[in-house]
Amino acid sequence: MLQIKDLSGGFEGTDIIKGISLNINAGEIHAIMGPNGSGKSTLSKILAGHPAYQASAGTVNYNGKNLLDMDPEERALQGVFLGFQYPVEIPGVNNAEFLRMAYNAQLVHQGKEEVDPLDFDEILDEKMEFIGMDAKYKNRFLNDGFSGGEKKKNEILQMAVLQPKLAILDETDSGLDIDALKTVAAGVNRMFNDSMGLLIITHYQRLLEHIKPHS
Ligand code: ADP
Ligand code: MG
């Protein structure tokens, strides 16, 4: 599914990551661990297509296509998902509406009909229950005033709604207490399936006790 070969790149022409190679097949969970500042988030941003981060060398092949050639929107529509280490707060944007728009963008891309707010509400309730998140977060502004752990859970909710093919979770465990960590890990485990690839970035071993990587 994903072949990263000799990838270098970073921010404003400075190479932060240097010559990374990694293959992820469907049905596999991989973990990347490393100290703060070693370039883990930089790798995830290059893969997701953050405009400020560029590859300077190497290739990234995603399901037979050059991932680095695609716009970030295209990557998302092709099933690439990044759970941010630092999710952004967007006051004024309703969480449920944001999720419905992302969900509908995918449906339109797949040539299907959009779902209306009422139908989406049912889908959302099911997903929230699935990951153990209270329904009250539906009508909050996106991440606005969320605690660190709530933001991370909201990232997992996005993942549950969008059902990506390749999910990159950047330090999803940081900021979670042990109960929230267990709930989130259980949600990720239940969501994971044989047609999916998962890249977990963390610097705590404890998450890997709940989500077992293949390598
Ligand atoms: P990690 O996620 O492994 O902790 P990062 O990828 O966030 O590491 O950062 C790697 C290095 O690149 C750090 O030294 C960081 O300060 C630097 N870096 C990343 N993004 C930027 C940026 N936007 N501006 C300046 N330096 C950056
Ligand atoms: Mg990081």
Give the model confidence (pLDDT) of 194-208 as tens digits: 999 999 999 888 888
The mean pLDDT value for 150-170 works out to 95
DSSP 134-200: -GGGTTSEETTT--HHHHHHHHHHHHHHH--SEEEEESTTTT--HHHHHHHHHHHHHH--TT-EEEE
In this predicted structure, what is the pLDDT of residue 184? 84
- The protein residue with its alpha carbon nearest to ligand 1, atom 16, reads 37
Ligand number nearest CA of 32 is 1
The per-residue pLDDT for range 140-152, each reduced to its tens digit, is 999 999 998 899 9
> Ligand 1: residues whose CB is within 6 Å?
11, 16, 34, 36-42
